[in-house]
Amino acid sequence: MDWLSRIVQSRYWRVAVATHRDPEGFATLEAAIGPGAHSSRRWTTALTQIATVLLAKGGGVGDIIVGDCLELREAEGRCRAKSDSGRAVFYTILRDLGMFPADAPPSLQYLETYAGQLSVEQLVDRHALQCTPVRDLLVDYLRERQPVLDYNSLRQIARTLSLHFWKDLELHQPGIKSIRLDREVASAWKERLRTKVTRRRQPDGSITELISPRHSAVDHLTTIRAFYLDIAQWATEDPARWGPWAVPSPITVAEISSKKRNSNRKARMDQRTRERLPVLPALVHAAHEQLRQARIRLDAFNAAGPGESFTVLGETLTKPKHSDSPDSFESGRAIDTTGRRRELGRAEQRAFWAWATVEFLRHTGARIEEMLETSHYSLTQYTLPDTGELIPLLHIAPSKTDEERLLVIDVELADVLAAVVARVRDSTGRIPLVTAWDLAEGVWNPPRPLLFQWKWGGVDRPVSNQTIRRSLNELLEATGLTDVTGQPLHYTPHDFRRLFTTEAILNGMPPHITQLILGHKDINTTMGYHTVYPQEVINGHRAFIARRRVLRPSEEYRTPTDEEWEEFLGHFQRRKLGLGECGRAYGTSCQHEHSCVRCPLLRVDPSEKARIAEIRDNMIDRIAEAEKHGWLGDVEQLGVTLAAANGKLAQLDERARRATTINLGMPSFPGIASRTITFPQQK
């Protein structure tokens, strides 16, 4: 197999194999492929590979098994300078003809690219930990938490505990065997965790190391602190198993506080939304325009003959004399005047999916994984029981929070979905069933009629996350949009989720309804996606004032008459007293029978302090007279007035003291402490 993959594969020995080894089998293959079997490079390559398998293994086409196909691909990987995924089309052809069992994988990618889920032991052992007891502890801990975690979360926790925690300690503390860390060891480890080293190769070949802060340090510390606390709690339930490992956590609550980080992140996300929401219409227009121009170029290419030059949108391109079949998206290869190759077919594909992505995300607020998992089964409808009207709905499958939901499809979104469905349908009018790799769970999903799919290498495949992001980047480069600093504006698929939330709430959608549409479990998460604009605050405050005015009596907001205005001004004039000013509210009468000295609303004028002192002295003399004659009622009432007068004098003294007080500041604790105690370090 290696020798056959290494030599020049001539079409003559492929024809000889088809003629003398299995004529009926190759006739069946050519009938399944169609009239393009000998004109397309892809199909001729597939037939050559099948002939290679027969030369190496013997037998006919019907005798080929999955292992033979995998062996050929491995040999090509060893012996050929280039072994792309397009050379795996022969496997798809044989599988579609029913040559393989029903449980055969739909693509060789099942066996070549993705290894599937790793066990807990494999997740820990790939970091080559030296201490076997701690390694077993991590395995037991992860296995205990595995039932309530998805695979992606389990993989992240295993990486944090194995690599960022224990592997780092083993590298800097050789021979360490206990998770009980000294203060010095823990401090040094946490300091290393807060930074990361990036190595970059310079033009001269040297490698430089750049030290930068690690943004995920708090997340790692939180995971490791949870590891210590979980073991401590489990030790109370199963002392024999977890008790020997129950030790104090080297991470305090203050070290995992993310309040400041969350505030900074919220500020950054709000700034991103304020920059991107105003230019969203320009991005939508650019996506439509890019797709329109890409289709014009591709149509002009298809209309041109082999070797013919054509001019489209001000560009002169030349179609090669030998090109692939027109039904493949790679067929749009053309040469411009500078000799550069232009992939018009692929450019049209990326332009279409960039347009579909922008429209889908901005109308639904879905996550990118939810968009890529949308299938033909997701399009449903609901009949209103009262009117019988049909409401089109989009079913969002459970993803991050395991919350499924239904979204109403508006007219614009319906047009986008119709365009996608029309594009992915095959010649029979059906949407092909494709199998997608679930990055979060690390498994292959069952075949489904996904809407975001295309042909790559002659095989129906789902559109990948990387393709979506690359298409968005190409779209943004074509728009020339910039941020406030003049740098090119960058959109991520998740930015559209924040834009959808902000625009929905700005247009009057209640936050709790927005929460259900986004699939959030907590409304605070939804409000975190919402960006508050200054105009929104002003309009909201003005609306609140308007509602409050409606609730209050209308006569309070009528124009006052001249008599009412004079009476209002006279109220403040009548508040002036001999001892100061009265502080009673407008429209209220004096309830103390003008006993101003006793009234707490009297604000004494400092210049009238002598009169207050005179009143106090007079009260003392009158109390003495009343006590002499036995007028006990006067003694009691005069005593109240005397106490009020003393209180007014005390208020005047306090006001005078405050006016002359100099603030010397608050002394620091080290400045007033008598001595300093140094605690011994824990070992």
Tens of pLDDT along 666-683?
555 455 444 444 545 544
Quote the tokens at residue 507. 């247009």
- Kindly state whether residue 620 falls inside one of the protein's structural domains: yes
Residue 289 lies in a domain: yes
Residues 640, 624: Cα–Cα separation, whole Å: 14
> Are both 135 and 187 inside the same structural domain?
yes
Q: Are residues 354 and 441 in the same domain?
A: yes
pTM greater than 0.85:
no
Residue 561 falls inside a structural domain: no
Q: Would you place residue 443 in the very low, low, confident or very high pLDDT band (cuts 50, 70, 90)?
A: confident
Same domain, 89 and 150: no
- Domain containing 348: what range? 281-491
Within 8 A by CB and 6+ apart from 466, the residues are none
In this prediction, residue 520 carries a pLDDT of 84
Q: Is the pLDDT of residue 325 over 50?
A: no
- Total domains, the chain: 4
Domain termination site, one of 90, 112, 134: 112
Contacts of 222-230 spanning 24+ positions with Cβ under 8 A: 222/256, 222/258, 223/156, 223/157, 223/160, 223/161, 224/160, 224/161, 224/164, 224/165, 224/251, 225/249, 225/251, 225/256, 227/141, 227/161, 227/165, 228/179, 230/141, 230/144, 230/145
Q: Is residue 325 part of a domain?
A: yes
Query: Is there a single domain that holds both residue 325 and residue 474?
Result: yes
Residues 334, 307: Cα–Cα separation, whole Å: 10
Higher pLDDT residue, 588 or 40? 588
Q: What is the pLDDT of residue 139?
A: 95
**pLDDT of amino acid 162:** 94
- Strands 602-604 and 379-383 come out as unpaired
Query: What pLDDT score was predicted for residue 146?
Result: 92
In contact, 319 and 336? CB cutoff 8 Å: no
Residue 458: the pLDDT is 65
**In terms of domains, do 432 and 411 share one?**
yes
Of residues 532 and 151, more confidently modeled: 151
If asked whether residues 199 and 345 sit together in one domain, one would say no
Token code pair at residue 182: 């000294």
Residue 461 inside a domain? The answer is: yes
For the ranges 129-133, 444-448, 659-663, the maximum mean pLDDT occurs at: 129-133
Mean pLDDT over all residues of the chain? 83
pLDDT beyond 70 at 553: no
Which whole number is the average pLDDT over 27-33?
81
In a domain, 320, yes or no: yes
301 & 210 share domain: no
Indicate whether 339 and 430 sit together in one domain: yes
Contact indicator for 329, 349 with CB cutoff of 8 Å: yes
- 478 and 607 both lie in a single domain: no
Residue 327 pLDDT > 60: no
For position 313, which CATH number holds?
1.10.443
List of residues 6+ apart from 434 with CB closer than 8 A: 106, 447, 448, 449, 450, 453, 460, 461, 462
Q: Of 388-397, 529-538, 581-590, give the lowest mean pLDDT range.
A: 529-538
195-201 vs 207-213, strand pairing mode: antiparallel
Residue 342 placed within a domain: yes
Question: Does pLDDT of 502 surpass 50?
Answer: yes
Q: Are residues 386 and 309 in the same domain?
A: yes
d(CA 457, CA 399): 29
| Same domain assignment for residues 302 and 394 | yes
In a domain, 656, yes or no: no
Secondary structure percentages of the chain, helix, strand, coil, to 5: 55, 10, 35
- pLDDT at residue 622 tops 80: yes
For residue 14, the tally of other CB atoms under 10 A from its CB is 21
Same domain? 10 vs 49? yes
